[in-house]
């Protein structure tokens, strides 16, 4: 069965700005899917419509057999626990320590009061330390997040998502603010999460070469529509189609290299 | 195209300053303000101040009385600000885009804060004078209401500015509203909020002088008392005390800011 099923999803802002138009696709359990496309194509909106951080105007999202649009507030919270989210700007509470931020991923499983007073169980803390170790952050555990480098912050973000025990990870431009070496580390971790832990990954990416290198499947989005959905061996023409002819030779070269 | 834009920009600049000049001139004419006389009277004012408005030895005897009133004013300012801050924090949570419950309550809360903030402090004092009379309660409530409006606005901006990222992440993780407030909003906003509170305490001590004149309490009252009874030496001493206390509080709050931010 498909883990995620998106049918005819549309999102309209105001009167005439159509961010998404009739988007349909499905994702199987364990797949690593990269969503590529130019800035403003609707990639972020698409991702946020899946866990209803943005409410879609029309269409349906079925995740893990549950219709997302029908969920009430509390049911939506329960469902969101199964979906980890990674952000371009990490979205950590930067004045808190690494361990505090990682444990935030457990809030969805706790009573409001236990969450307010940061009362976490022994096994939750143990799991947090294990994940932190796995991501190579053991030395930073008690450091405040504003003292970390960009790559380290993103790893904290991944740890916070992982401790939710998610079925799927939504990654919104996870490496857009990182230098190349930190980007590689983050992408390797995400790939590992998908292969070893069997967690489905849906990753928005700016970098075509990275997408082609890491993903099992590429979804190309342009002007709110899916223009490509298939394996990661795009021809230069297909890259052109996704980015439009204005994109120029830069993408062409990159796309060409990996396609050959 | 670009040159045209530059010319256009310069044209707008010229128009702006021309309008400003016309406004200034009309205001001078309408208010019958004599600029020349205003400037020439400055030396006279300085001469008067240097010969009358300084503390002499005799005025130092009044220090204990001034100190008592000054203390009253400082504590009044602190109490009014902290109480207002607590109430403002709740209003700000409802008014901020990041944490509001719904649009309607958000707009209502911003409206309330705007009303309280836009009524000037002196107007608050005069309005409250009718119900509380000349007591420190009037001063307290005047400061409280004004601070409440001002701080609510400052807190809304703080929350929107600094905590929206963390809030988004916790929402995506399935945290409840109050968990998000305590785990993301408060940790990120608290230092800036404290900074605003300190700023307000400083401002209050300055304005409490004026409020004191109106309500007959605190340092403002004692200033008016000596000033109206022609005891200029003591009145000047009061002014010096006000300046010193504002400076001391500014120093303390700068220090606190450095530590927490």
Which of A87, A104, A161 lies nearest to residue B183, judging by beta carbons? A104
Interface test with B, best of A80, A89, A102, A107 (most B CBs within 10 A): A107
Nearest C-alpha in B relative to A82: B173
CB under 8 Å to A175, separation ≥6 — which residues?
A154, A182, A183, A186, A187, A205, A207, A210
B186 touches chain A (CB under 8 A): no
Q: Which of B193, B240, B180 lies closest to B54 in space, CA to CA? A: B240
Of A238-247, B41-50, B165-174, B201-210, which gets the smallest average pLDDT?
A238-247
Range of weakest confidence among A186-195, A235-244, B91-100, B224-233: A235-244
The answer to whether residue A131 sits within a structural domain is no
Average pLDDT for chain B: 89
Please give the share of chain A, as a percent, with pLDDT higher than 90.
Answer: 80
Q: Look at A160 and B169 and tell me if their CB atoms are within 8 Å.
A: yes
Phi and psi at residue A9, to the nearest 5°: -75, 130
In B, which residues are within 8 Å of A79 by CB distance? 174
For B182-217, where are the alpha helices, taking DSSP H only? Answer: 186-215
Q: Is A199 within the bounds of a domain?
A: no
Domain boundaries, given as residue ranges, for chain B: 2-52, 60-260
A251: contact with B, CB 8 A cutoff: no
Is a pLDDT exceeding 80 seen at residue B2? no
Which pLDDT score, from 0 to 100, does residue B136 have? 82
* Within a domain: A14: yes
Report pTM: 0.81
Does any domain span residue A42?
Answer: yes
pLDDT at residue B50, as a whole number? 84
User: Measured on CA atoms in the order A65, A70, A75, A78, is the torsion positive or negative?
Assistant: positive
Q: What CATH number labels B60-260?
A: 1.10.3720.10
Give the number of domains in chain A. 1
Across the range B176-199, mean pLDDT stands at: 93
Q: How far apart are CA A173 and CA A188, in angstroms?
A: 15
**Domain residues for A241?**
1-82+169-177+204-260
Q: What is the pLDDT of residues A45-97, one digit of tens each?
A: 999 999 999 999 999 999 999 999 999 999 999 999 999 999 999 999 999 99
Is the Cβ pair A164, B173 closer than 8 Å?
A: yes
pLDDT band at A255 (very low <50, low <70, confident <90, very high): very low
The alpha-carbon gap from A91 to the nearest alpha carbon of chain B, in Å, equals: 5
pLDDT at B84 over 90: yes
The helix/strand/coil state of A164 is coil
List the CATH number of the domain containing A47. 3.40.50.300
Nearest-CA distance B57 → chain A (Å): 53
Say yes or no: B122 contacts chain A, CB-CB below 8 A. no
Tens-digit pLDDT profile for residues A95-117: 999 999 999 999 999 999 999 99
Residue A257 has a pLDDT of 47
Q: Kindly state whether residue A22 falls inside one of the protein's structural domains.
A: yes
């Amino acid at each position: 069965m498909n883990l995620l099923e998106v049918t005819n999803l549309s999102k309209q802002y105001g009167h005439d700005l159509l961010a998404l138009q009739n988007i349909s696709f499905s994702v199987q359990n364990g797949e690593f899917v990269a969503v590529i496309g130019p800035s403003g194509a609707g990639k972020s909106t698409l991702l946020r419509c899946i866990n209803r951080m943005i409410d879609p105007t029309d269409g349906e999202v079925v995740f893990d057999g549950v219709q997302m649009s029908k969920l009430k507030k509390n049911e939506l919270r329960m469902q969101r626990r199964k979906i980890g989210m990674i952000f371009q700007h990490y979205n950590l509470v930067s004045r808190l320590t690494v361990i505090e931020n990682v444990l935030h991923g457990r809030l969805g499983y706790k009573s409001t009061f236990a969450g307010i007073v940061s009362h976490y169980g022994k096994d939750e803390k143990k799991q947090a330390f294990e994940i932190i170790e796995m991501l190579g952050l053991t030395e930073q555990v008690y450091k405040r997040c504003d003292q970390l480098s960009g790559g380290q912050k993103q790893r904290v973000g991944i740890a916070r998502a992982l401790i939710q025990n998610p079925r799927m990870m939504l990654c919104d431009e996870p490496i857009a603010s990182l230098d190349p070496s930190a980007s590689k580390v983050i992408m390797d971790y995400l790939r590992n999460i998908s292969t070893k832990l069997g967690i489905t990954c849906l990753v928005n990416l700016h970098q075509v070469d990275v997408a082609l290198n890491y993903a099992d499947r590429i979804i190309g989005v342009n002007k709110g529509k899916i223009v490509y959905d298939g394996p990661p061996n795009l021809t230069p023409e297909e890259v052109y189609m996704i980015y439009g002819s204005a994109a120029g030779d830069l993408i062409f070269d990159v796309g060409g290299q990996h396609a050959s | 195209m670009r040159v045209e834009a530059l010319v256009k920009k310069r044209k707008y600049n010229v128009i702006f300053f021309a309008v400003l000049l016309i406004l200034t001139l009309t205001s001078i004419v309408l208010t019958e303000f004599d600029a020349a006389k205003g400037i020439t009277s400055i030396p006279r004012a300085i001469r008067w101040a240097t010969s009358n408005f300084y503390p002499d030895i005799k005025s130092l005897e009044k220090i204990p009385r001034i100190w008592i009133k000054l203390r009253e004013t400082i504590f009044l300012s602190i109490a009014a600000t902290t109480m207002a801050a607590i109430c403002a924090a709740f209003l700000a949570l409802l008014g901020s885009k990041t944490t509001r419950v719904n649009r309607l309550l958000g707009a209502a809360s911003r409206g309330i804060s705007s009303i309280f903030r836009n009524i000037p402090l002196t107007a608050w004092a005069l309005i409250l004078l009718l119900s509380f009379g000349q007591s420190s309660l009037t001063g307290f409530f005047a400061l409280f209401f004004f601070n409440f409006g001002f701080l609510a606005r400052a807190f809304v901006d703080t929350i929107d500015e600094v905590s929206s990222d963390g809030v988004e992440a916790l929402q995506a993780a399935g945290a409840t509203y109050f968990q998000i407030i305590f785990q993301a909003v408060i940790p990120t906003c608290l230092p800036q909020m404290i900074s605003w509170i300190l700023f307000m305490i400083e401002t209050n001590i300055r304005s409490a002088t004026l409020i004191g004149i109106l309500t007959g309490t605190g340092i403002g009252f004692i200033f008016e008392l000596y000033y109206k009874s022609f005891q200029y030496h003591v009145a000047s001493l009061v002014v010096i005390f006000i300046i010193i206390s504002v400076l001391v509080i500014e120093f303390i709050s700068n220090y606190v800011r450095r530590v927490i931010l």
